[in-house]
């Protein structure tokens, strides 16, 4: 949908819309949560076939943000950065090895690492 926009144009459009709606702070929190989830999975080496339980993703996040962390993980699945795997004992996720550069860029951009 947005593949014809450059990153700067897309970023400015999204920021303008968020300022109008008043949820810029929520978006910054969501970006940070996404980066923290991706960093945790990258550190653990959960690429491709190595997966972890979806319910374990928010364990390293403060309790008052755990609901938003699950929402952020759902967004990461819809963006294609996380691969869902349904098992008989629940949903598991892993990092998408084909999107490794995008994952590393998001972590670097948001968390300065």
> How many angstroms separate the CA atoms of 93 and 1, rounded?
25
Q: Would you state the pLDDT for residue 81?
A: 93
Per-residue model confidence as pLDDT tens digits over 53-111: 999 888 888 888 888 899 999 999 999 999 999 989 899 999 999 999 999 999 999 88
Report d(CA 40, CA 37) in Å as an integer: 5
pTM check: above 0.85: no
Find the mean pLDDT for residues 7-11. 60
pLDDT in the model for residue 76:
92
Give the tens place of pLDDT for each residue, 17-43.
655 555 555 678 889 899 999 999 999
Please give the pLDDT value at position 60: 84
Tell me the domains of the chain and their CATH numbers: 7-111 (1.10.10.10)
């Amino acid at each position: 949908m947005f593949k014809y926009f450059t990153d700067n144009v897309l970023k400015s459009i999204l920021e303008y819309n968020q300022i109008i709606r008043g949820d810029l702070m929520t978006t910054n929190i969501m970006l940070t949560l996404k980066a923290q989830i991706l960093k945790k999975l990258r550190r653990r080496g959960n690429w491709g076939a190595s997966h972890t339980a979806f319910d374990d993703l928010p364990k390293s996040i403060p309790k008052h943000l755990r609901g938003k962390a699950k929402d952020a993980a759902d967004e990461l699945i819809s963006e294609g950065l996380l691969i869902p795997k349904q098992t008989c004992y629940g949903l598991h996720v892993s990092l998408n090895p084909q999107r490794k550069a995008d994952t590393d860029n998001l972590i670097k951009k948001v968390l300065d690492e």
